[in-house]
């Protein structure tokens, strides 16, 4: 899609040196060995990964800590030269890799990096609750506003409708698209705040917007929309941002105009990158929105393939929404029902699967 033409600022990045990458690959191999047949979505598996992650190269840890605490102007941090498996399986045509161990090095690398930003979680509603998910184009889904599509993916906050939305997400590239047109985009309001009109900012700070649940989270009996939310919150010069230019519904005409103004101002300010094999992009899901330009898939096993992982800053806040010892959040409908009727009257439902995810 030619709509995103201006690259206003680079993504902040750190490139691992050869020695750093070798050290990290060794830690990943240790993790794969230690995990064995473990279910990755358990607290025990994460503890194994986190302990090994304490030994990541100091320069990388310092960059992650700084990003976690102070953010970046693009809302992203790009880490290049992350170790991935030397022989990669085919890009999963249905968006599900059968066994994480076939990309064990990449999986461990991503989990270790993310463990410096928070606590890794998965959602039962999404991709079978996996804590590392496959992002690959699915035949027939080309125009979906989901990560299984290949058309332009509108800017969005990840799971902005969810009471436990991720604080950070990461995308680790195993394969870029053939034509290298699929650019991952990030944008923050911090960069463009002074270009927004006063009335726009005032409106965006009011709870005049609701977000439609992604199809995987909307189940029978749910309203399918978040409670009304504000798009902007927090400090004036470095606001937090919850937006989705596809799934967000302004509730008044004024709110519609403000959201349109935000999109018009934000779009030319975006940072973008064609992720390469071994490039890992971390996105601050409170300060930044992200999206992706379009690309063409061949569906021959060599298509673009990213792996995605989420963290929350404080795992304890979702205690009532997870089974003990699990990192997987219960279905959204269960969480919302428990919120309206009081704490966990019903046992948390198990992991259910759905293919769609933004």
Ligand X SMILES: O=C(O)CCC(=O)C(=O)O
Is 289 an interacting residue with respect to ligand X (CB under 6 A)? Answer: no
C-beta of 108 vs 153, nearer to ligand X: 153
How many residues touch ligand X under the rule CB under 6 A: the total is 11
Give me the least distance between CB of 184 and Fe ion, in Å please.
9
Query: SS3 of 222, please?
Result: coil
Using CB under 5 A as the binding rule, the residues of this chain from 99 to 158 that contact Fe ion are 158
308 binds, among Fe ion, ligand X, none (CB under 5 to 8 A by kind): ligand X
The count of residues interacting with Fe ion (CB under 5 A) is 2
Residue 274 CB, shortest distance to Fe ion, in Å, is 16
Distance of closest approach, residue 337 Cβ to Fe ion, in angstroms:
26
158 labeled binding residue: yes
Check residue 126 and report its DSSP letter: S
Q: What is the dihedral of CA 129, 132, 137, 141, to 10 degrees?
A: 20
302 in a known ligand binding site:
no
Are 10 and 74 within 8 A, CB to CB?
A: yes
Indicate the burial class of 237 (C-beta count within 10 angstroms; 0-12, 13-18, 19 or more): exposed
**132 near ligand X, judged by CB under 6 A:** no
Give the strand pairing for 305-312 and 133-135: antiparallel
CA distances, 22 to each of 16, 81, 82, 268 (Å): 9, 10, 10, 38
For position 12 contacting ligand X by CB under 6 A, the verdict is no
Residue where the block lists tokens 């399918």: 224
**Which C-beta is closer to ligand X: that of 229 or that of 273?**
273
Q: How far apart are CA 34 and CA 50, in angstroms?
A: 12
- Whether 308 has a binding-site annotation, put simply, is yes
Q: Is 103 in the site for ligand X (CB under 6 A)?
A: no
Question: What SS3 state is found at 320?
Answer: helix
Taking the complex as a whole, the smallest distance from the CB of residue 149 to ligand X amounts, in Å, to 9
What number of residues does the chain have? 358
Helical spans, DSSP H, in the chain: 18-35, 43-53, 58-70, 104-114, 198-204, 253-266, 332-341
* Residue 188 counted as an annotated binding residue: no
Question: Residue 358, interface with Fe ion (CB under 5 A)?
Answer: yes
Show the beta-strand stretches assigned E in the chain: 12-15, 76-80, 119-123, 133-135, 153-156, 168-175, 184-188, 209-211, 232-233, 240-241, 248-250, 271-273, 280-284, 288-292, 305-312, 328-329
User: Which tokens sit at 288?
Assistant: 């930044």
* Coil, helix or strand at residue 214: coil
Q: Is 17 annotated as a binding residue?
A: no
Q: Is 308 in the site for ligand X (CB under 6 A)?
A: yes
Comparison of 158 and 261: residue with beta carbon closer to ligand X = 158
Q: Which does 293 bind (CB under 5 to 8 A by kind): ligand X, Fe ion, none?
A: none
Rule CB under 6 A: is residue 247 a binding residue for ligand X?
A: no
Q: Does 307 bind Fe ion (CB under 5 A)?
A: no
With binding defined as CB under 6 A, does residue 174 bind ligand X?
no
33 marked among binding-site residues: no
CB of 335 to Fe ion, least distance (A): 20
For the chain, the straight-line distance linking the first and the last C-alpha, in angstroms and rounded, comes to: 18
Residue in 147, 188, 203, 326 binding ligand X, rule: CB under 6 A: 147
* Residue 162 lies near ligand X (rule: CB under 6 A): no
Report if residue 358 touches ligand X, rule: CB under 6 A: yes
Annotated binding site for Fe cation: 156, 158, 290
What residues make contact with Fe ion under the rule CB under 5 A?
158, 358
Q: Which amino acids are annotated as binding site, given as ranges?
A: 156, 158, 186, 290, 304, 308
Residues that bind ligand X (CB under 6 A): 135, 147, 153, 158, 171, 184, 290, 292, 306, 308, 358
């Amino acid at each position: 899609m030619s709509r995103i033409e201006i690259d206003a600022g680079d993504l902040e990045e750190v490139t691992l040196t050869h020695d750093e990458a070798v050290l990290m690959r060794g830690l990943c191999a240790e993790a794969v060995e230690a995990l064995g047949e473990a279910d990755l979505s358990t607290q025990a598996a994460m503890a194994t990964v986190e302990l090994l992650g304490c030994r990541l190269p100091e320069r990388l840890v310092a960059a992650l800590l700084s990003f976690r605490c102070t953010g970046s102007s693009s809302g992203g941090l790009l880490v290049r030269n992350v170790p991935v498996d030397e022989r990669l399986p085919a890009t999963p045509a249905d968006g599900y890799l059968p066994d994480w161990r076939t990309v064990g090095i990449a999986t461990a690398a991503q989990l270790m990096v993310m463990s410096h930003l928070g606590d890794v979680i998965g959602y039962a509603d999404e991709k079978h609750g996996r804590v590392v998910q496959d992002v690959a184009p699915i035949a027939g889904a080309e125009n979906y506003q989901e990560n299984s599509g290949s058309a332009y993916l509108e800017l969005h906050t990840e799971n902005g409708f969810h009471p436990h939305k991720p604080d950070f997400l990461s995308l680790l590239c195993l394969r870029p698209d053939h034509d290298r047109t699929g650019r991952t985009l990030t944008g923050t309001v911090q960069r463009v705040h002074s270009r927004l009109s006063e009335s726009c900012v005032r409106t965006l700070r009011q709870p005049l917007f609701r977000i439609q649940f992604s199809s995987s989270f909307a189940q029978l009996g749910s309203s399918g929309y978040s409670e009304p939310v504000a798009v902007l919150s927090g400090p004036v010069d470095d606001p937090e941002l919850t937006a989705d230019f596809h799934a967000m519904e302004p509730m008044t005409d004024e709110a519609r105009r403000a959201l349109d103004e935000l999109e018009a101002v934000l779009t030319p300010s975006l940072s973008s990158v064609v992720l390469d094999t071994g490039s890992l992009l971390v996105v601050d899901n409170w300060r930044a929105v992200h999206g992706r330009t379009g690309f063409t898939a061949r569906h021959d096993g060599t298509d673009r393939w990213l792996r995605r992982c989420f963290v929350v800053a404080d795992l304890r806040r979702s205690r009532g929404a997870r089974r003990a010892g699990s990192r997987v959040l219960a279905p959204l409908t269960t969480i919302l029902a428990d919120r309206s009727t009081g704490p966990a009257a019903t046992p948390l439902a198990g992991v259910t699967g759905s293919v769609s995810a933004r």
